[in-house]
Amino acid sequence: METLLFLAPAEDALSKNSLEALAATQQLASSLGAAFSVGLWGDDTQASADGLAACGAAKFLAVTGPEFAQARYSTDAAAAEALCRAAAATVVIGPSGSRWNRVLAGVAHRLGGRSDSHVTGLSASGGAPSVSRWFYRQRMEGVLTRTQRPWLLAVESGIAPAWQGAPGTAAVEAVACAPAAPRSKVAGIEALSADQQTIRPDADLLFVSGAGWTKKQPDGQVKTDVAQKLILDFLGLSRASLGSTKSLVDLHGEGQATLTFLSHMNQVGQTGSTPRHPKGLATCCHGEEPHTVGWRFIGERRAISLDPNCGWARGKADVLYVADAFAVMDKVNALLAAK
């Protein structure tokens, strides 16, 4: 019989990504006929445990203390290891995020187990759990099982509806953990303002910009500054997440005029990311990679292109607007602003 543990840093435990992973854990536990516990670590674990009080966990375990508040390999790994041992877990499930992804393999090694990241599905057959993940740049899906335990998993966002339940009062069992004195100290956090941060994983819409925005337009002019304003205005009004084709982000490295707010972090596709948003809108974009691979997990897809023969937009978009993206986005922004 498997023993499941849902594990998350306390500060992140009530995020959408985490609640989705919790729902996937509940589903797996029910398919296996197994119980699951919740393990949290951080400065204030009780508040997060209370938020999850009604999730049906058999136990709530927590490593608590100010030294566990900050993201740091040594303290995160020590806390996760202590929680896995205290729960005697055979399958450990955590939401993909910088903290869990960073310590996952190390903690599995310390426990003599195995780890898998980028998990996009959990299922059970014959009393054994199996996981799905994508290979070859999200082109093939594989389902795998493992005999080694514990099996530590980092679950991608968007694979299950987020768990919802009323907060309550969780009976939290304290787990002792005494990590070695940390050698690194967090002096502060420098984060982009919400408006400068154009990658928004929780957004309903992914807006993909292509190199066409920087190309000579039918009137013979290059209008990169107009493109920049149209896109930034749209992102501000719609709160969409910004993706880009490789051609467009590469222009920057070649010293050509381009959209200054883009970096390779925005790139979607075979050598970029494959984000999960309910909707996608590709603009001025012709490539195969953004349309087929970058959009792999986008629910409803639309494209705006001047090229009526773009096979990728025609073949992969649910709706293709054969139109000038400058004119369309200008109108869309005016409508959004009027709202």
Ligand X SMILES: Cc1cc2nc3c(=O)[nH]c(=O)nc-3n(C[C@H](O)[C@H](O)[C@H](O)COP(=O)(O)OP(=O)(O)OC[C@H]3O[C@@H](n4cnc5c(N)ncnc54)[C@H](O)[C@@H]3O)c2cc1C
Using CB under 6 A as the binding criterion, the count of chain residues that bind ligand X stands at: 30
What is the footprint of ligand X within residues 195-224 (CB under 6 A)? Answer: 210-212, 215, 217
DSSP 1: -
Rounded Cα distance between 32 and 45, Å, is 28
| Nearest CA-CA partner of 234 in 226, 245, 246 | 226
Measured from the CB atom, the residue of 72 and 246 that comes closer to ligand X is 246
Tell me the residue length of the chain.
339
What is the footprint of ligand X within residues 140-199 (CB under 6 A)? Answer: none
Asked whether position 280 contacts ligand X by CB under 6 A, the answer is no
Using CB under 6 A, which of 53, 289, 295, 332 touches ligand X?
289
Q: Output the CA–CA distances (angstroms, integers) from residue 205 to 18, 100, 129, 238, 288, in the order listed.
A: 20, 26, 33, 8, 20
Asked whether position 288 contacts ligand X by CB under 6 A, the answer is yes
At its nearest, how many Å lie between ligand X and the CB of residue 264?
A: 10
At its nearest, how many Å lie between ligand X and the CB of residue 309?
A: 9
DSSP 49: H
Using CB under 6 A, which of 72, 99, 286, 301 touches ligand X?
286
Measured from the CB atom, the residue of 36 and 312 that comes closer to ligand X is 312
At its nearest, how many Å lie between ligand X and the CB of residue 213?
A: 7
DSSP 176: -
At its nearest, how many Å lie between ligand X and the CB of residue 290?
A: 4
Asked whether position 324 contacts ligand X by CB under 6 A, the answer is yes
Residue type (1 letter), 241: S
Asked whether position 290 contacts ligand X by CB under 6 A, the answer is yes
Asked whether position 116 contacts ligand X by CB under 6 A, the answer is no
**What does residue 257 show for φ and ψ, rounded to 5 degrees?**
-65, 125
Asked whether position 287 contacts ligand X by CB under 6 A, the answer is yes
Rounded Cα distance between 63 and 78, Å, is 10
At its nearest, how many Å lie between ligand X and the CB of residue 197?
A: 21
Asked whether position 329 contacts ligand X by CB under 6 A, the answer is no
Residue type (1 letter), 65: G
Measured from the CB atom, the residue of 26 and 267 that comes closer to ligand X is 267
Asked whether position 266 contacts ligand X by CB under 6 A, the answer is no
Asked whether position 231 contacts ligand X by CB under 6 A, the answer is no
Is 104 in contact with 115 (CB distance < 8 Å)?
Answer: yes
> With 0-12 CB in 10 A as exposed, 13-18 as middle and 19+ as buried, what is 157?
buried
Q: Which run of H or E residues covers position 257?
A: none
Rounded Cα distance between 87 and 4, Å, is 8
| Contact range with ligand X by CB under 6 A, out of 29-37, 53-61, 164-172, 245-253 | 245-253
Asked whether position 48 contacts ligand X by CB under 6 A, the answer is no
Rounded Cα distance between 294 and 316, Å, is 11
Q: What residues line the site for ligand X (CB under 6 A)?
A: 210-212, 215, 217, 245-248, 267, 269-272, 284-290, 294, 304-307, 310, 324-326
